[in-house]
Structure 1
Amino acid sequence: MSNSATPFIPPQVATLLAANRKIEAIKLVLDSNPGLGLRAAKDAVEDFQRNGSSAAVASTARSAAAKQSSGAGQVGDFPQAARQAVAEGNRILAIKIVREAYGLDLRSAMQRVDAYSEGLAADADDDDDDAAAGRNGVTANLPAEAVALILGGDRGRAAQLLEARYGYSTRDAMTGIVAYELSRRRRGFGAAGGDTVRGGDNNGKMLVIAALIAIAAVAAWYFVAA
């Protein structure tokens, strides 16, 4: 990648900058853009800080659209950058990326992100049931470090840890995190009655649907206000 090209800005950069972790943000941009110099990565991060996330979202979306034609960075019809945003719990950013990448209206982009998220939740349900039955699925027994990050709300770093240190694929890491959080919700809502909420029960599905509706309302407010 030449230094004259617009560097790819991963969604995690916004989270790092919000936590005043600029050096880590620069390193992440370097790692995400092979051949990019340190000065160019620093300039890209500082430009992101000055201009907000809009330009970065557009750049990320353009990269996703370019990769779509070659099949790189794609799972089905969903951009890799948007997958990362979903893994971090940043649904609004995922919607923006999908809108820019495919030229969709807000409603269509939201539906596509929701469909992808529901697919992850369904996979997580299946894997959680496998673990409960004694089978060794990818979601069973997450490492303590990953659990600590999840409990702290840092899903993105948890996914990176699972991939880098424990050899998870991106999809397995994301599925494992979602399964763990669903399992915690089940234990919290069903502790008094034992194992009363299974992967196929309506109560569990309603919890997921209610959460998606709440997030959709926040996203709609965000785009209207903008």
Structure 2
Amino acid sequence: MADHTKDRIVEAAYRTLVAHGYHDTSMKDIARAAGVAPGLAHYYFETKEDLLVAAIEHACRPAIEAWDAAGISLTAPLPEDADPLAFARTGFELAKQELKAYPGVLQLTFDMFGVGLHNPKIAAAVRAFIDERRAFIARIAQGVIAGMPARPEASADSIAAALWASLHGIYLQKLMDQRFDADAAIDALSEMAIAFATGATGAPGAPGGPPKER
């Protein structure tokens, strides 16, 4: 019963925070949406910051389960027989699916980023959130680098940071403008990343591509 009540509060927090944003949502609003007394919400979660983090973790579960179903773990090392490039391609496809399936999660995530700029407690949660996901991308990048004919100057961590930032920039553009073609942007990012990894850009004037016409 206790766990059910706690889950109900977290689910209500997610719905309310997505609908109204962090700053315009109070613990009383969340308790009302959950159908519990405000004191009970405070019993499980001392502050609204705690509820925000719990709501995002709860909302991220389906996406993490989708990655697991595709054979890609957010926290485990790559399997020894893994094809890093195949993992990378799958990751870009899953990123497109996430944007369509979980826009509320991304909206709340960006809200958390904004709050974290001025709230040390949320800032710590944001850093942990970003660190985990960058480390995940870095593991794939490290596998890709190991198979490249020449090691790039950029480290796996730097590549991961650039890819994470690029993907979230695409997510933000889509959230702000539904006309924005996020699929095309993610496909372009995927194409650039794979071309970088394989050295086969095919672009005029680019390494491995035909010369520019004069």
Q: Structures share a fold, TM > 0.5?
A: no
**TM-score normalised according to structure 2 size:** 0.29
Using CA pairs under 8 Å that are at least 6 residues apart, name the structure with larger relative contact order, 1 or 2: 2
**TM-score normalised according to structure 1 size:** 0.28
